């Protein structure tokens, strides 16, 4: 079939057969995607066996709760960020902290505090370095944003996230910090490590077919929001990780690379109320004011909630 014949067939099956109320937006998307899929079957001569094996794959990926991971690994989530960047540029929005992917591992409802939070539950204190992350939330003119909501989450020393890893305590390495009157926030936590896709999982199975690894560098996730400002979804990746610029999820971006410095000064340790050397990262955040000309940064997607 040629494309005209395909489009006519799709219309006959999925438009002309409607007998009830139609969601025109859903109809538009389904018709377009089916037309593109049918065209791909023609162009690539996709066999029936290949098609059904593909559907079986998506069934397995859904049951394994890996479709969010697959979206990151194939670059879909990064592509959406690039589209959002283009929309911002067209609306004249510039200068804020770069966005990057959310990933599939956010959990709503993390404990909230003002100015400072200890994120870890202490179970890995003797296994991995203590890390202090701090920064200031400002607008693009440098004005501090008091009361900005800074949501932070990251993996433990094994590359696992609480709630998804049932061996961890609830909300381990997950906190919400309200910036103080100086727009400042501090998080005491442990050094995150990178992780890989489950080696026997559905996402890694596809990556293997593509000759790709499924590893991420050490990183920390953020949501940052404040009334009157566009919500920022971002993360920083940590300098020195072997996968820093080879992130399977394509999340590393200029402006989002943080350096962890070693601190072993006795006075600095006493100030932080710790009894051993620690690592320190500064990550300042710039938010941009809300704009009616740009698409919303609030994304409606299914997320885990405690």
pLDDT interval class at 85 (50, 70, 90) = very high
SS percent in the chain: helix, strand, coil, step 5? 30, 25, 50
pLDDT given for residue 40 in this prediction: 98
Whether 118 and 251 map to the same domain: the answer is yes
Give mean pLDDT, residues 45-53: 98
Tally the C-alpha atoms within 13 A of residue 118's C-alpha that lie toward its C-beta: 9
Q: Which two tokens stand for residue 222?
A: 């953020």
Buried b (16+ CB within 10 A) or exposed e, 46-63: eeeeeeeeeeeeeeebee
Give mean pLDDT, residues 3-22: 98
Tally the C-alpha atoms within 13 A of residue 86's C-alpha that lie toward its C-beta: 6
- pLDDT tens digits, 110-133: 999 999 999 999 999 999 999 999
pLDDT given for residue 255 in this prediction: 97
In whole angstroms, give the CA distance from residue 48 to residue 41: 9
Neighbour count for residue 154 (Cβ, 10 Å): 27
Is residue 241 a contact partner of residue 225, using CB atoms and an 8 Å limit?
no
Q: Is residue 54 part of a domain?
A: no
Whether 84 and 225 map to the same domain: the answer is yes
Q: Is residue 62 part of a domain?
A: no
Residue 213, phi-psi category: left (phi > 0), alpha (psi -120 to 50), beta (remainder): beta
Q: Is residue 202 part of a domain?
A: yes
Q: Is residue 287 part of a domain?
A: yes
Whether 118 and 237 map to the same domain: the answer is yes
Q: Is residue 2 part of a domain?
A: yes
Whether 14 and 104 map to the same domain: the answer is no
In whole angstroms, give the CA distance from residue 263 to residue 277: 6
Q: What phi, psi does 181 have (nearest 5°)? A: -65, -20
How do 184-190 and 257-258 pair as beta strands?
unpaired
Tally the C-alpha atoms within 13 A of residue 5's C-alpha that lie toward its C-beta: 4
Neighbour count for residue 286 (Cβ, 10 Å): 20
Give mean pLDDT, residues 74-93: 97
Among 133-142, 262-271, 297-306, whose mean pLDDT is lowest? 297-306
Whether 147 and 2 map to the same domain: the answer is no
Whether 35 and 182 map to the same domain: the answer is no
Per-position DSSP letters for 261-302, written without gaps between them = EEE--HHHHHHHT-SS-EEEEE--EEE-B--TTS--S-----
Give me the percent of the chain exceeding a pLDDT of 90. 97
Task: Identify the CATH number of the domain in which residue 106 sits.
Answer: 2.60.130.10
Whether 155 and 207 map to the same domain: the answer is yes
SS3 176: strand
Neighbour count for residue 227 (Cβ, 10 Å): 9
Q: Is the dihedral of CA 38, 43, 46, 48 positive or negative?
A: positive
Whether 98 and 39 map to the same domain: the answer is no
Whether 92 and 153 map to the same domain: the answer is yes
Query: What is the pLDDT of the chain when averaged over all its residues?
Result: 97
In whole angstroms, give the CA distance from residue 264 to residue 123: 22
In whole angstroms, give the CA distance from residue 158 to residue 182: 35
Whether 163 and 33 map to the same domain: the answer is no
Give the domain extent around 14: 1-45
Q: Is residue 56 part of a domain?
A: no
Q: Is the pLDDT of residue 293 over 90?
A: no
pLDDT interval class at 306 (50, 70, 90) = confident
Whether 294 and 222 map to the same domain: the answer is yes
Q: Is residue 57 part of a domain?
A: no
Domain count, the chain: 2
Kindly report the pTM of this predicted structure: 0.95
Q: Is residue 52 part of a domain?
A: no
pLDDT given for residue 88 in this prediction: 96
Q: What phi, psi does 270 have (nearest 5°)? A: -65, -40
Whether 37 and 140 map to the same domain: the answer is no
């Amino acid at each position: 079939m040629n494309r005209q014949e395909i489009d006519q067939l799709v219309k006959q099956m999925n438009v002309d057969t409607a007998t009830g109320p139609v969601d025109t937006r859903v109809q538009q998307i389904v018709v377009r995607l089916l037309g593109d899929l049918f065209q791909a079957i023609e162009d690539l001569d996709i066999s029936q066996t290949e098609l059904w094996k593909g559907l079986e794959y998506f069934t397995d990926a859904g049951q394994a709760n890996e479709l969010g991971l697959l979206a990151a690994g194939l670059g879909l989530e990064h592509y959406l960020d690039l589209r959002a960047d283009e929309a911002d540029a067209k609306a004249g929005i510039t200068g804020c902290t770069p966005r990057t992917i959310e990933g599939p591992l956010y959990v709503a409802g993390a404990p909230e505090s003002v100015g400072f939070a200890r994120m870890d539950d202490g179970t890995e204190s003797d296994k991995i370095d203590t890390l202090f992350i701090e920064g200031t939330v400002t607008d693009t003119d440098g004005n501090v944003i008091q009361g900005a909501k800074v949501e932070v989450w990251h993996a433990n020393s094994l590359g696992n996230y609480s709630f998804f890893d049932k061996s961890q305590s609830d909300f381990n390495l997950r906190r919400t910090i309200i910036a103080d009157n100086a727009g400042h926030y501090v998080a005491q936590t442990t050094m995150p490590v990178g992780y890989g896709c489950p080696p026997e999982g559905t996402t890694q199975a596809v990556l293997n077919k593509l000759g790709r690894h499924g590893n991420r560098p050490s990183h920390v996730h953020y949501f940052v929001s404040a009334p009157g400002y566009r919500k920022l979804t971002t993360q920083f990746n940590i300098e020195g990780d072997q996968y820093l610029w080879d992130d399977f999820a394509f999340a590393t971006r200029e402006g989002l690379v943080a350096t962890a410095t070693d601190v072993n000064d006795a006075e600095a340790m006493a100030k932080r109320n710790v009894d051993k050397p620690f690592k320190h990262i500064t990550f300042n955040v710039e938010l941009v004011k809300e704009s009616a000309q740009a698409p919303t940064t609030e994304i409606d997607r299914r997320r885990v909630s405690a």
